[in-house]
A and B are shown apart, each in its own frame.
Chain A
Amino acid sequence: MTVLEQRGAYRPSPPPAWQPRMDPAPLLPDAEPYRVLGTEAAAQADPGLLRRLHAQLVRGRRYNTQATALTKQGRLAVYPSSTGQEACEVAAALALEERDWLFPSYRDTLAVVARGVDPVEALTLLRGDWHTGYDPYAHRVAPLSTPLATQLPHAVGLAHAARLKGDDVVALAMVGDGGTSEGDFHEALNFAAVWQAPVVFLVQNNGFAISVPLAKQTAAPSLAHKAVGYGMPGRLVDGNDAAAVHEVLTDAVRHARAGGGPTLIEAVTYRIEAHTNADDATRYRGDAEVEAWRAHDPVRLLETELTERGLIDAAGLEAVREDAEAMAADLRERMNQDPGLDPMDLFDHVYAETTSQLREQRDLLRAELAAEQDGPDQQEGDRR
């Protein structure tokens, strides 16, 4: 039975006695995160897909290390690494069709890049040359959202609008475990369920909101359990298992596209690096914990599967690595170039038509820049 059918079953009918809205059982997540790699289900997985996921995962890992290195060189203001979470990032993006939309948070650069956005443009926000480097419409990727969970209602609104228009577009909205405590998370899930909007909510539970562990964030048995209260299915998946994440997301996307409404997916994963390069993770967690998670590394899990089943050989692995290196080299080189900013851009995109107040301020800045160009001697002369 689809969720839609279940809903029909308990529209209140006279006499108006209160009835529980539905049997929560089909909405509740499994007790254990769903896994594919290393299980019998792996044999069913499409080898081509596994190889594609692997190549993207390796690229993603390389992107993370390169971007982190760029922060050390002062080329990026900050970088929230998703090392350890690449499976969620990549599999989520690959579960979407071209016409679908992605609503990422600040940590989701990899998903953005996997959608086809230029790796340099995806870093614009973090470099600081503008807030959003890419055209959101070019690849149907909303701007990276920094305020937590605020992008979730946007995903709902967009998916709702698409459905009203008759387009079978699905919106994927990504959020962290900490973000699930925000009011916007609640409002978005509730709206999506009431409107039966084609949205997939993906929570990357990486264990921490900066320093605060999940246990201080929620008392729920799992974050996926939150779904049942809204009337949507909750799924729990091993976030380091790219094949599992891809399968669960693909199911949810299909379900949404078919009119089944939203799904909440909790991907259990781990943030291997600190929150950002500016954070000191040793203050709130021990090495043993990090090492245990390193053993469950998403790249290694997939690589083991591919090698053991003979789906990739040494040459194949080498080709994947070379491709990732080339991407990193290109990223490095282009990030080392001056972004070439025009300060007059500041005034161009505040309103459709620049207000008289902003025109005056623009003239002031233009005069200041002209004076700078003339050089300090000239300025000195002007003042006299």
Chain B
Amino acid sequence: MTTVAVKPATMAQALTRAMRDAMAADPTVHVLGEDVGTLGGVFRVTDGLAKEFGEDRCTDTPLAEAGILGAAVGMAMYGLRPVVEMQFDAFAYPAFEQLVSHVSRMRNRTRGRMPLPITVRIPYGGGIGGVEHHSDSSEAYYMATPGLHVVTPATVADAYGLLRRAIASDDPVVFLEPKRLYWSKDTWNPEEPAEVEPIGRAVVRRTGRSATLITYGPSVPVCMEAAEAARAEGWDLEVVDLRSLVPFDDATVCASVRRTGRAVVVHESTGFGGPGGEIAARVTERCFHHLEAPVLRVAGFDLPYPPPMLERHHLPGVDRVLDAVARLQWEAEG
């Protein structure tokens, strides 16, 4: 048995490693986007790939998101596995038409003859003090588009494992990278990365009996912290990290809610028309007779993403989560 030093690694490093390993394992994997080559991406997530694999495999494209994703469609048609980087959440919108009109439905419209194995990496969400158009939580748009997988990691291990699975997937995957977790560290062994659950499976990050916090991506650490803090109140919270918004893991989520009888959905994205509404509805439909209280949502406000000096008021933090949990107890007592 070999012992390998397990060092702290950041989520960004794990993502880079995932692309590197995927490119080394499969010559059809190509990375393309704005500044992904020489610079290694504005978040350095593609750092070193152009150097190691050449500019044909990691390509700085012209500055045009529809062109990048549209070209990736053609590349995928010809047998490549493009991994596209969109520089920021709000700058992926020019490519939205390609995503909705072609990427998501090419398999379907060709009756399965032309699957498109494209990974679209999008740094998303707030918490980094970004100026306008650099902090959108755009997941609901992608969730509302059938034919796409929508995944978002919350841990270093998942960042690696999910991205490897996304690149290997024969379906298009919108890979949402919580940018405020890019620099979060964890002990992780890049030489022997542990297997992670496939796309479409949620995981219970923390078990508990009082209530379930259903969350994903940037809100997972918030919920973990809230669960710790809740112990002081005598609440034993379970935290479910969805990991994949589409497909949705009803089984894991509902099993948890049936155990605890209470649930709060937590995310940064707006509440109205946001993912939480869908999740709350699913849980209610499937777990109604196990529920002691309505499923609550803790979400970002229904605003355009606020300016950096105000974003802390917008983002759901530990207190807001605990308040919701308190309301669950109150509702239960009637």
For residue A158, CB closer than 8 A to chain B, the reply is: yes
Q: Assess the B113–A161 pair: CB atoms within 8 A.
A: no
Number of interface residues of A (CB under 8 A): 42
Q: A136 to chain B: which residues have CB within 8 Å?
A: 77, 110, 113-114
Q: A284 to chain B: which residues have CB within 8 Å?
A: none
Among the listed stretches B63-71, B230-238, B265-273, B324-332, which one makes contact with chain A, having 4 or more residues with CB under 8 Å of it?
A: B63-71
Known contacts A183-B66, A190-B67; is A135 also within 8 Å of B110 by CB? yes
Among the listed stretches B134-142, B243-251, B255-263, which one makes contact with chain A, having 4 or more residues with CB under 8 Å of it?
A: B243-251
Closest Cβ neighbor of A199 among chain B residues: B74
Q: B170 to chain A: which residues have CB within 8 Å?
A: 352
Within 8 A of A (CB), among B74-122: 74-80, 82, 94, 97-98, 101-102, 105-115
- Taken together as a complex, chains A and B put the C-alpha atoms of A106 and B268 apart, in Å, by 41
Distance to closest chain A CB from B112 (angstroms): 4
Q: Assess the B247–A158 pair: CB atoms within 8 A.
A: no
Known contacts A187-B62, A190-B67; is A352 also within 8 Å of B109 by CB? no
Within 8 A of A (CB), among B37-65: 56, 61-62, 64
> Pick the contact of B71 from A147, A160, A186, A355 — CB < 8 Å?
A160
Closest Cβ neighbor of B74 among chain A residues: A157
- Taken together as a complex, chains A and B put the C-alpha atoms of A231 and B199 apart, in Å, by 43
Distance to closest chain A CB from B304 (angstroms): 23
Q: B30 to chain A: which residues have CB within 8 Å?
A: 164
Q: Assess the B75–A143 pair: CB atoms within 8 A.
A: no
Closest Cβ neighbor of B112 among chain A residues: A349
Q: Assess the B171–A157 pair: CB atoms within 8 A.
A: no
Q: A164 to chain B: which residues have CB within 8 Å?
A: 30, 56, 80
> Pick the contact of B101 from A150, A188, A351 — CB < 8 Å?
A150
For residue A119, CB closer than 8 A to chain B, the reply is: no
> Pick the contact of B74 from A137, A158, A355 — CB < 8 Å?
A158
> Pick the contact of B75 from A131, A160, A186, A356 — CB < 8 Å?
A160
> Pick the contact of A161 from B67, B78, B246, B248 — CB < 8 Å?
B78
Q: A135 to chain B: which residues have CB within 8 Å?
A: 110, 113
- Taken together as a complex, chains A and B put the C-alpha atoms of A75 and B65 apart, in Å, by 39
Further contacts, 6 of them, CB under 8 A, given A164-B80, A190-B67, A355-B247: A136-B114, A153-B67, A161-B77, A183-B66, A191-B67, A351-B171
Distance to closest chain B CB from A312 (angstroms): 39
Distance to closest chain B CB from A77 (angstroms): 15
Q: Assess the B70–A154 pair: CB atoms within 8 A.
A: yes
Query: A145-158, CB under 8 A of B: which get 1 and which 0?
Result: 10100101111111
Closest Cβ neighbor of B117 among chain A residues: A352
Which residues of A approach B to under 8 Å, CB–CB? 130-132, 135-137, 142-143, 145, 147, 150, 152-162, 164-165, 171, 183-184, 186-188, 190-191, 194, 345, 348-352, 355-357
Q: Among A155, A157, A188, find the residue whose CB has the most chain B CB atoms closer than 10 A.
A: A157
Closest 3 CB pairs of A and B: A153-B70, A157-B74, A187-B67
Q: Assess the B74–A154 pair: CB atoms within 8 A.
A: yes
For residue B149, CB closer than 8 A to chain A, the reply is: yes
Known contacts A150-B97, A154-B74, A157-B72; is A190 also within 8 Å of B64 by CB? yes
Known contacts A352-B170, A356-B247, A356-B251; is A143 also within 8 Å of B106 by CB? yes
For residue B264, CB closer than 8 A to chain A, the reply is: no
- Taken together as a complex, chains A and B put the C-alpha atoms of A186 and B82 apart, in Å, by 21
- Taken together as a complex, chains A and B put the C-alpha atoms of A183 and B149 apart, in Å, by 26
Within 8 A of A (CB), among B137-170: 146-147, 149, 169-170
Closest Cβ neighbor of A193 among chain B residues: B62
Q: Assess the A355–B64 pair: CB atoms within 8 A.
A: no
Q: B73 to chain A: which residues have CB within 8 Å?
A: 153-154, 157
Q: Assess the B66–A153 pair: CB atoms within 8 A.
A: yes
Distance to closest chain B CB from A300 (angstroms): 37
Q: B61 to chain A: which residues have CB within 8 Å?
A: 191
- Taken together as a complex, chains A and B put the C-alpha atoms of A156 and B71 apart, in Å, by 6
- Taken together as a complex, chains A and B put the C-alpha atoms of A153 and B78 apart, in Å, by 13
